[in-house]
Structure 1
């Protein structure tokens, strides 16, 4: 290992010949758009208009799975593909076809292959199929229904003001859960079929008012379960066909073994390490094809794979080297999954993230002992050697995490790939129990999506929800509720005042709180209307039986009807630092030091700090604002503003119920996270200048991290500021990004 400098590791990955070939093949594949899923689903829906929605969806997915193109990657030990080519993305027109028509057929604002970033191949020969798909779905998509169901204020909040944005769920499914892989690989899909048959036979048609819904669910669940078994059988046939044509005896043997595995899993329980991974691949891909949501995650990979690893080592069928190679093959197989978003939504998700999170480390939820094991290290090695962004590797740290493990994590982080992410068990388990999780389930958490904690196999709902633009709410509070960019005013301040007329700092803070609470209400309306439309039109039986089989099947309920043990709807809050810094500027400069008036600051904001005819000038006022202490420097006065404002937001969010409240699950409310992904950039594009010294339409702060360039007291001070937040209230996750350039640490 060569040390380039004191920070960056410069080393070549250690790959077997198989993994190296597979890696080159997959990573050289360009993104593309696959029309098969959209075409096949449309074909089924056009021909079957009279089925119950949940059964129509189950049968539609079955039609897709039995007719889509399948292939086996060169040299791969596993079968399973989401689309007709690696890294191509299927189409989901049932959610929204308007952007498909605008972009793919009309090039507005870009054709997919001409985008400035995140380009996708779109073949000319596929455009007639896209036209047919769009023509069929016009007027009957989720987006169409939402436009007729949502109040005009909520529509304006989302489409025009951008105080909240929930476009990801106009255009795709929920995702954001971790299937119960331990239960699935230990029981097999046939067990699901058997349990559904029993549930169907035991429906109480005399006394159960939900009897018809349960009948539809059980029938749809059996269709879905049989569909994945038949899907796997198609790969068994393909592997046998390829084996018959194969001249290399080693590869012929591998393909025949693959055929046997595909006939066994996922129908029956996995018998060994390789079968367990193949089982997971099949279930994961089928959920992706049904749902299209981001954040379909894997749970605590090292915990449920360790028994298969130990059994293989004990009986001599597995070595550490083979287990590492199979894990790397598994990682690359998962990396082939992709998702295409509209250009507008892409702005919130740059780099085509899928958030297929895989968690290692942490504690045993029964003994509270450290749970690090061989598979924890193998997962780190696989990330180190494959160096692909998916799956998103997450590490759980706690007080007893071994130093050896921490050092290996540090080595992988030093590659600069951004993986793994590190999470604090003490903070996350406390936040989850604060939201109603049982202690054992809280200590068994995994990361779902980006930073969101959840109990694998037990959580429904939506850990990632609408983006809440706190900076926009702050801006409108300075103009008596009016959005200066669009001129729209949905809600005047309760005190009827602007920045120019506030008579005390408390009036400014009260105005922000008033606007924030109003737009939280709008967000709740957006969230619940979407969930209601999905429940009526797009329930997902496959997601239900794989995500939460131990609760959905006994209850006879899919997730949107209350089938999960826990159900919470998450929100991403954007602009923590901008809000705190801006409020502190108002408090300090206007009401404490009295060096400028509210009217002077408001004029400077309206003119984006450019007016040099005033006294002081716009640039001088900006300099004053920038000089005021900022969040991220361990300054209590401003850090406590961030703490209190975020606590208010988190508490207000959790006061709203979701559509599953009182229908079985624990929770049933909205809750808060500080995740942003890349949304801080597009949200900044709709926000004018803010009192913290930020210029109009520039990006706002990332997560609960300090605003760029304002944390000038070093990393320890920045961490101290973040630690002052009431992170136990952020049960949907706390995101703090700290980045160093190699030059700074050389």
Structure 2
């Protein structure tokens, strides 16, 4: 019979803190990127992005909250959200000016007055510098008459409110190789190209590897900054038990990320620190973790066999990791928030399934992940369980009991259907067997491709019903159902059942 293990007092206290804390806006990232872009107008493209990220990782506030073991954050205060003005700021300007971001009925954010003043004093710079402004300037004249027709996600303006995201990067490589080795590999590639005198258009390749090296520097620096902070806390700590834990954290943070993980705690910390860096780079939308139990399972088993960790402490570490992921959130415009409420960012995790050789992949960490879900009852991070014809019965039982408790978490994804479908799309047998779920439920390669399977910026979302309505109604859509389920923001005028022109919303299927 599947039973839930008790959670520790520390985990219980942190879960309560998560549930009771009202999210706020942290402008630390906004200030850093604003100053960097203002001071570096000459930089463009990939090098600008890389150097900006390194600047953020070197200067973003670091914090280690009471009793934390797994550390990393996108904000200077607990459960605060960062801002990403390089994408789009039209909605942000409007909601900050009228203070609606703090009073709206869905997912409001506390915004300090000095932060509000800074945003408003710099926002006009971003109105012309952001990606939406640059994209809008390139829209085809022929497209403007059909923009916002409700069939695609593209509207007449402000295309980049929420970049695509929706991918799973090479977490397993980061854990097992380390960013020090990745940096060395990138610099070897740079040297090879220099030795060849940069033939043809290989300058683009050179700048790619150069950017990889810059980003590796930033991620390693961020981790060392956390190590230094842990050392400061160790020096001031008097409780023997916490001192021992802080000593472990100092050792972990001085080693992991730069070098290959040595143990379970190293691996979990590397996983979350890499995610922290990814989320500080770009807006956190569907940044999916991939097959977490496959990254961590062998580290756990080796530590248990060697007596380096107990099952109880390892479970607590995983619980604390889940709470760190849940803490992270991203601000949306009010219009987008209506469809995506709950301060969520879609950092999906996948478990179970089969290995590259076709055998069952479930391990002890698979069950530990279900324990975290079933006991913490968090809506973030979302979970997906891969199932197949040889899924162990005890895993079926654990997953069914967990989803009954957690309300549909995890979801169940069928390997027998998904693997052949991915192979038809071009993935190799090994990559298809190693697939992960992205964002909501989209299957894709685990750290081997950029599937771009959701979000604005792609043609992934197609409303065929609206295409039919446009065809039979002379280019117009009749939208009483849309207005009923997605009411216009407060103050927006209405005209019967058809929403009036409002180019500030992407989903505006009111007109030809």
Same fold (TM over 0.5): yes
SS of 1:447's partner is strand
SS of 2:462's partner is strand
Residue 319 of structure 1: aligned partner: 310
CA drift at 1:157: 4.6
Contact 2:353–2:361 (CA<8 Å) still a contact in 1? yes
SS of 1:423's partner is strand
Q: 1:415 to 1:344 in 2, by over 3 A?
A: same
Contact 2:374–2:406 (CA<8 Å) still a contact in 1? no
Residue 49 of structure 2: aligned partner: 57
Query: How far apart in 1 are the matches of 2:311 and 2:166?
Result: 31
Query: How far apart in 2 are the matches of 1:31 and 1:423?
Result: 32
Q: Residue 149 in 1 paired to residue 129 in 2?
A: no
Report matched runs for 1:328-477 at 5 Å: 328-366=319-357, 368-466=358-456, 467-477=461-471
Residue 151 of structure 2: aligned partner: 163
Q: Which residue of the other structure, out of 193, 196, 207, is the alignment partner of 1:203?
A: 193
Residue 128 of structure 1: aligned partner: 117
Contact 1:13–1:384 (CA<8 Å) still a contact in 2? no
Query: Over aligned residue pairs, what C-alpha RMSD do you find?
Result: 2.5
CA drift at 1:156: 5.2
Q: Residue 98 in 1 paired to residue 119 in 2?
A: no
CA drift at 1:26: 2.3
Contact 1:686–1:697 (CA<8 Å) still a contact in 2? no
Contact 2:4–2:374 (CA<8 Å) still a contact in 1? no
Contact 1:359–1:394 (CA<8 Å) still a contact in 2? yes
Contact 1:80–1:281 (CA<8 Å) still a contact in 2? yes
Q: 1:480 to 1:13 in 2, by over 3 A?
A: farther
* Structure 1: gaps (5+ residues): 2-8, 486-607, 609-679, 688-694, 699-746
Query: How far apart in 2 are the matches of 1:144 and 1:440?
Result: 42
Query: How far apart in 1 are the matches of 2:393 and 2:143?
Result: 50
Residue 257 of structure 1: aligned partner: 248
Q: 1:24 to 1:238 in 2, by over 3 A?
A: same
Contact 2:189–2:209 (CA<8 Å) still a contact in 1? yes
Q: Deviations over 1:104-144 (max 9, x none)?
A: 1234xxx1121121111111221121013312212121111
SS of 2:339's partner is coil
Contact 2:89–2:123 (CA<8 Å) still a contact in 1? yes
SS of 2:309's partner is coil
SS of 1:468's partner is coil
Q: Residue 298 in 1 paired to residue 292 in 2?
A: no
SS of 1:165's partner is coil
TM normalised by structure 2 equals 0.89
Q: Residue 48 in 1 paired to residue 40 in 2?
A: yes
Residue 215 of structure 2: aligned partner: 224
Query: How far apart in 1 are the matches of 2:475 and 2:117?
Result: 46
Query: How far apart in 2 are the matches of 1:64 and 1:207?
Result: 30
CA drift at 1:686: 9.4
Query: How far apart in 1 are the matches of 2:402 and 2:138?
Result: 48
Query: How far apart in 2 are the matches of 1:448 and 1:185?
Result: 20
Report matched runs for 1:66-145 at 5 Å: 66-107=58-99, 111-145=100-134
Query: How far apart in 1 are the matches of 2:154 and 2:399?
Result: 34
CA drift at 1:155: 4.7
Residue 735 of structure 1: aligned partner: none
SS of 2:443's partner is strand
Contact 2:165–2:455 (CA<8 Å) still a contact in 1? no
Contact 1:469–1:683 (CA<8 Å) still a contact in 2? no
Contact 1:157–1:164 (CA<8 Å) still a contact in 2? no
Q: Residue 236 in 1 paired to residue 227 in 2?
A: yes
Query: How far apart in 2 are the matches of 1:152 and 1:20?
Result: 57
Q: 1:399 to 1:68 in 2, by over 3 A?
A: same
Residue 504 of structure 2: aligned partner: none
Residue 509 of structure 2: aligned partner: none
Query: How far apart in 2 are the matches of 1:98 and 1:481?
Result: 28
Deviating more after overlay: 372-381 vs 146-155 = 146-155
Q: 1:164 to 1:156 in 2, by over 3 A?
A: farther
Residue 279 of structure 1: aligned partner: 270
- Number of residue pairs the alignment of both structures matches: 485
Residue 38 of structure 1: aligned partner: 30
Q: 1:203 to 1:245 in 2, by over 3 A?
A: same
Query: How far apart in 2 are the matches of 1:188 and 1:285?
Result: 16
Query: How far apart in 2 are the matches of 1:59 and 1:223?
Result: 7
Query: How far apart in 1 are the matches of 2:51 and 2:117?
Result: 25
Query: How far apart in 2 are the matches of 1:200 and 1:79?
Result: 33
CA drift at 1:309: 0.8
Q: 1:125 to 1:13 in 2, by over 3 A?
A: farther
CA drift at 1:369: 1.8
TM normalised by structure 1 equals 0.62
CA drift at 1:310: 1.0
Q: 1:153 to 1:12 in 2, by over 3 A?
A: farther
Residue 505 of structure 2: aligned partner: none
CA drift at 1:458: 0.6
Contact 1:147–1:155 (CA<8 Å) still a contact in 2? no
Contact 2:288–2:348 (CA<8 Å) still a contact in 1? yes
